Amino acid sequence: MTNSTGHQGRPMAFDVQAPLQAAAAGLAELEQRVRDELACLCYPPSNWVVPTSAEGEEKVHDVVVIGGGMCGLVASFALFGAGIQNIRIFDRSPTGFEGPWLTYARMETLRSPKQLTGPAYGMASLTFRAWYVAQFGNDTWAELDKIPRPMWMEYLRWYRKVLDLPVENGVEVKTIVPEGELMRLTLSGEGAREKSVLTRKVVMATGRDGMGHPSIPGFVDGLPRNYWAHSSDAIDFAALRGKRVVVVGVGASAVDNAAEALEAGAAEVRHLIRRKQMPCINKLMGIGSFGFTAAFPQLGDARRWQIMNYSLRTQTPAPRGSTMRVSRHPNAWFHFDAAVEKAELDGDEIVISTSQGKAVRCDFLILGTGFGVDPLARKELDGYADKILLWQDRFTPPEGQENTELGNYPYLANDFTFLEREPGQAPWLANIHSFNSGAAASLGKMSGDIPGISEGAAWLAREIAAKLYSENFGQYWQRLLDYDTPELRGDEWTASPLPDEAPAAARKQA
């Protein structure tokens, strides 16, 4: 008998550590491959940026990146790869918890197809696929449908580690203020080594809510805060067991939070949806391509507005898996054409009045209302956010294409920097790069979503490099004049005189 008991009836010993050891070995081999490829690419190149001095010998950084999540990591990798070494990277979150993946993101899997290269920046060994296959093999990769959300965070942690990106965690940037030609960032948090730092350029790699705030509808103004939460809040779902929950909206965040409440044992969960029918088509997915990414910033205001307005109005649907995660529960309901008009307390119950003239009673309300783009809401920009040029200042849409939400997006320059509403009022805005979701209306989705993040980072690094060089052109010109390292030493040749010219008769004879 040789099955589970082995030869001659002896129990077979199973090494439960073997798969873990194989995964570790595969990952170690991949990490060496990354290092070898980086060496072949001469990464990191030497720093070429001339140092900048400040009064009192305070150090001046060339770039400060705010955010150590996906956007900040790939942006920093691109900057280092461009030979811009004098940078700092700050993130307010604890190490390994940057971005939304292990905080307020509650989907089971990513929406993006598993094969997208994301932040790999053109290196096959840096892709999620390479990381996954190194640990679990090609057969398991073939069977994988979507990327589990926590696994994506594990990949980003590895990405940061293998590239040795010096993110400083527990550091929050409180303000960004001009100081001469530089920008001073005031810092707080347990990870802050200084109270403030000086820099030439700032990259706000602050993610989906990085140029605004959670959208909070006015109908909750009269409700005590312990009766409602936004989908981006830290929600105690265990406390919702046996409770009646209403979720406003039917986008991805609304659906994921509804699923969490149901799985935590909520007595019922009702979606209140102002739309008459479920959004089913992710329109922008149908036109995604390198051409679209490259062309979008050059399309002109009218066409960019046309595309973004259409995308916002049609709404990106929640993923199929997330929606099924809710609908498989018999105590879940989707109520369409039921916009919320008012919410008020009646004893310990919330009474929600809807556009249908019917009221819904519940114990807790979750707002799946997404994020709004509003530079005025960014505390880092206090004192001058109103000087930022917005789309509503620059473009008047045709009749029927009005969109207040879209009008609040910043109208950015091609290098992701803010423009002034009134020229000359805030020239320092040209030093702040909005590498986050706020760039979508001007430059497309190159600074927040997985599909275009590497192209966006390459663009950002190139533009920052060009600015740093142009601003110090005189010093680089002097470097050219001063350069005197010879390639030839003088012993590589022998000077020879020209021969005497032969007489005409001799030439004819020859």
Instruction: Give the tens place of pLDDT for each residue, 83-131.
Output: 999 999 999 999 999 999 999 999 999 999 999 999 999 999 999 999 9
In 235-253, which positions are buried (b, 16+ CB within 10 angstroms) versus exposed (e)?
A: bebeebeebbbbbbbbbbb
Instruction: Please state, in angstroms and rounded to a whole number, the distance separating the CA atoms of residues 438 and 212.
Output: 8
Instruction: Please state, in angstroms and rounded to a whole number, the distance separating the CA atoms of residues 159 and 119.
Output: 9
CA-based nearest residue to 357, from 339, 330, 345, 379:
339
Instruction: Please state, in angstroms and rounded to a whole number, the distance separating the CA atoms of residues 429 and 287.
Output: 32
Confidence (pTM): 0.90
* Structure-token pair, residue 35: 């290092």
Which parts of the chain sit beneath pLDDT 50? 1-14
Domains of the chain by range and CATH?
A: 21-212+373-471 (3.50.50.60), 216-280+317-367 (3.50.50.60)
Instruction: Please state, in angstroms and rounded to a whole number, the distance separating the CA atoms of residues 197 and 168.
Output: 13
Instruction: Please state, in angstroms and rounded to a whole number, the distance separating the CA atoms of residues 87 and 78.
Output: 12
φ, ψ dihedrals at 473, nearest 5°: -55, -40
- Residue 10 has a pLDDT of 45
Instruction: Please state, in angstroms and rounded to a whole number, the distance separating the CA atoms of residues 131 and 298.
Output: 35
What would the DSSP string read from start to end of 45-107? PPP-SPP---GGG--EEEEEEE--SHHHHHHHHHHHHTT---EEEEESSPTT--SSTTTT---
Q: What is the pLDDT of residues 237-275, one digit of tens each?
A: 999 999 999 999 999 999 999 999 999 999 999 999 999
Instruction: Please state, in angstroms and rounded to a whole number, the distance separating the CA atoms of residues 355 and 472.
Output: 60
Instruction: Please state, in angstroms and rounded to a whole number, the distance separating the CA atoms of residues 456 and 449.
Output: 10
Cβ-contact 418, 429 below 8 angstroms = yes
Instruction: Please state, in angstroms and rounded to a whole number, the distance separating the CA atoms of residues 196 and 182.
Output: 13
* Secondary structure letter of residue 147 according to DSSP: -
Integer Rg of the chain from CA: 29
- Residue 503 has a pLDDT of 67
> Which helix (H) or strand (E) is 158 found in, with range?
helix 149-163
What would the DSSP string read from start to end of 430-486? GGEE--SGGGHHHH-S-SSSTTTHHHHHHHHHHHHHHHHHHHTHHHHHHHHHH----
What would the DSSP string read from start to end of 394-420? H--PPTT---HHHHTSB-B-TTSBB-B
The region, left, alpha or beta by phi > 0 then psi within -120 to 50, assigned to residue 230 is beta
Cβ-contact 129, 120 below 8 angstroms = no
* Structure-token pair, residue 491: 């012993």
* Structure-token pair, residue 115: 């094969």
